[in-house]
Amino acid sequence: MGSVPALSTIDVTAIVEPAPAKINLALHVRRRREDGYHEIETLFAFLRDGDLLTVADADSDSFAVIGPYAAALAGEGTNLVMAARDAFARAFGAIAPLAITLDKRLPVASGIGGGSADAAALLRVLARRHGVTLDDPRLLDCAASLGADIPACLLGRAAFGTGIGTDLQATESLVDTPVLLVNPGVAVSTAAVFRAWNGSDLGPLGGADPLAAARAGRNDLEPAALALAPVIGIVLSALAAAPGVLLSRMSGSGATCFALFEDRQACAAAATALRAAHPDWWQLESTLA
């Protein structure tokens, strides 16, 4: 097979692309598949805040990580951002050299899709530069090949996810809901949490209304994560006790937990109280996109 011709690019000096934090409002693990993935039913939601990716034309390729959590990625082999660049080039043709800077603001290995969101952000940038629509099947295949969360992160808005999380049905009803993320400073391995899952299918995620479905649902990985990092239970208790909470739960495989609030005042008050009680905990106050 011959080489794929290089795509023409739009002359762009620099693009700053948000890589918003992802949360799972509910996460039902149904079974482990023979290929090692798990069949899940989940409700993804995305914040308006997270990491930032800056992409600029350059004479040669470069990749730099800055920000408060840059050190956590030091010495990492292949970052998902660069894997996304390479996957896009394989699908669509050679890419002109780029200087890519990742401002790492989200904790690493924290259940809020940081690496997946970063990779999805680069895919969105490359798609715009090369005239590729976000629903192009080749782009969706790129995203899925990089990780089960990345198609949802590429979409970047609330959606029900089934299969391994890549079959998505978008929903708009949660936009602008105030949300508080809290991480007690513990990194939890997704693989370790899934290995510790007890294998029990506790039933589907039901309901058409997203908030009602989430509140009636659960996170099946929570018991396994609590066994690995008991401090998660302290975070969950603190969030559940905050006035004005609509829903509080652990996100993904942990250790980050979240609370949705009735209004921004309640969210801000909870953030202030938790900061005073646990100044060493990371938190992010935002709204859902």
* Tens of pLDDT, residues 160-213: 999 999 999 999 889 999 999 999 999 999 999 999 999 999 999 988 899 999
First and final CA of the chain: distance in angstroms? 43
State pLDDT tens for residues 6-18: 444 444 579 999 9
State pLDDT tens for residues 59-68: 999 999 999 9
- Please tell me whether residue 55 adopts helix, strand or coil conformation: strand
Give the architecture-level CATH label for domain 178-287: 2-Layer Sandwich (3.30)
Is the separation of the CB atoms in 104 and 67 below 8 Å?
yes
What average pLDDT does the structure give for the chain?
A: 93
The answer to whether 14-170 and 178-287 have equal CATH topology is no
Alpha-carbon distances, residue 195 vs 38, 223, 249, 252, 255 (angstroms):
11, 12, 20, 14, 16
Q: Is 193 left (phi over 0), alpha (psi -120 to 50) or beta?
A: alpha
- Residue 54 confidence class, pLDDT cut points 50, 70, 90: very high
Domain spans in the chain, listed from the N-terminal domain onward? 14-170, 178-287
Is the separation of the CB atoms in 161 and 44 below 8 Å?
yes
Is the separation of the CB atoms in 256 and 185 below 8 Å?
no
Respond yes or no: is residue 22 known to be catalytic. Answer: yes
What pTM value is reported for the model? 0.92
Q: What percent of the chain has pLDDT over 90?
A: 90
Respond yes or no: is residue 136 known to be catalytic. Answer: no
Looking from the CA of 2 toward its CB, the CA atoms found within 13 Å total 3
The C-alpha torsion from 17 through 21 and 26 to 31, rounded to 10°, is 80
51, 118, 149, 220: the catalytic one is 149
22, 49, 103, 118: the catalytic one is 22
CATH of the domain spanning 14-170: 3.30.230.10
